[in-house]
Amino acid sequence: MSTQVVYQRSRGLQDVETHYCPGCHHGVIHKLIAEVLVEMDLLDSAVGVSPVGCAVLAGNYFNCDFVEAAHGRAPAVATGIKRVKPEMLVFTYQGDGDLASIGAAEIVHAAMRGERFTTIFINNAIYGMTGGQMAPTTLVGQKSTTTQAGRDPLQHGQPIRMAEMLSTLDGMAYCERVCVADMGNLHRAKRAIKKAFTLQQQGVGHTFVEFLSTCPTNWGMSPVDAGKWVLSDMAKVYPLGVVKDVPKEEKA
């Protein structure tokens, strides 16, 4: 009986087990980025910048170079890299606590300067690695270990929409919000990564892909329910789709 390979690990990933929880979307998102790096033949010339958060070990999983940044500082680290190595494909991979809270200044100013790297922003509405505290992206009413009765807008404010906020900046060239909760969205997400990397190579400005992602462990949901919640609840607060596409607008 002959065997036919219909699916295998991407060459863009190392042959190791990740530490991610069952049902967490980090693994799928890693795979999409890895596939794009392979398809664009970038494994030798790409460098990722990992955050502080669950993806802190991403450099052990990807089959390209990585630099681990201090909490929130990935956009500054990526700026330093891209400015001295403009020929490299540079991307950051940051969670919501990292990017929207402690690193808010760094991402705003990298986008303002139109830094020619790509931000992959993983929004799962919670602090995963530290055990489920409120993030700036936590939904109103959502329970976390620091909002045990649910997020109260009067006390904790309301969710911050980074994609929309950053798109007001002229340095932002391309900004899209995606998810991988079903097959249609997964394919759209991969196209968004590819478009962002392509536009980065064209030097048009900052490129930003926000993923609505899951945290079944800290949400207290099954992996299946967590995926459904992304579409039913998160996507209402954080609408999926292209937020800004300057090259396309200029062409039109």
User: Phi/psi at 88 (nearest 5 deg)?
Assistant: -85, 155
Q: Which stretch in 73-81, 127-135, 166-174, 191-199 sits in contact with other proteins by CB under 8 A? A: 73-81
**What are the C-alpha distances in Å from 56 to residues 73, 97, 192?**
13, 13, 23
Interaction of residue 60 with other proteins, rule CB under 8 A: yes
Closer CB to other proteins, 51 or 227, in the complex: 51
Place of tokens 């681990």: 68
Six token digits for residue 135: 């993030």
Q: Which of 24, 76, 139, 243 binds other proteins (CB under 8 A)?
A: 76
Draw the binding track, 12-31, toward other proteins (x: CB under 8 A; -: no contact). --x-----------------
Q: Is 49 helix (H, G, I), strand (E, B) or coil?
A: strand
Draw the binding track, 96-135, toward other proteins (x: CB under 8 A; -: no contact). ---------xx-xx---x----------------------
Least Å distance, CB 89 to other proteins, is 10
Nearest 5°: CA angle at 218, between 239 and 142?
Answer: 50
Q: Are 132 and 147 in contact (CB under 8 A)?
A: no
User: Exposed e or buried b for every residue in 141-157, given b needs 16+ CB within 10 A?
Assistant: ebbbeebeeebeeeebe
Least Å distance, CB 183 to other proteins, is 30
Q: Are 132 and 218 in contact (CB under 8 A)?
A: yes
Interaction of residue 212 with other proteins, rule CB under 8 A: no
Interaction of residue 70 with other proteins, rule CB under 8 A: yes
Residues that bind other proteins (CB under 8 A): 14, 43-47, 49-50, 56-57, 59-60, 62-70, 73, 76-81, 83-85, 88, 105-106, 108-109, 113
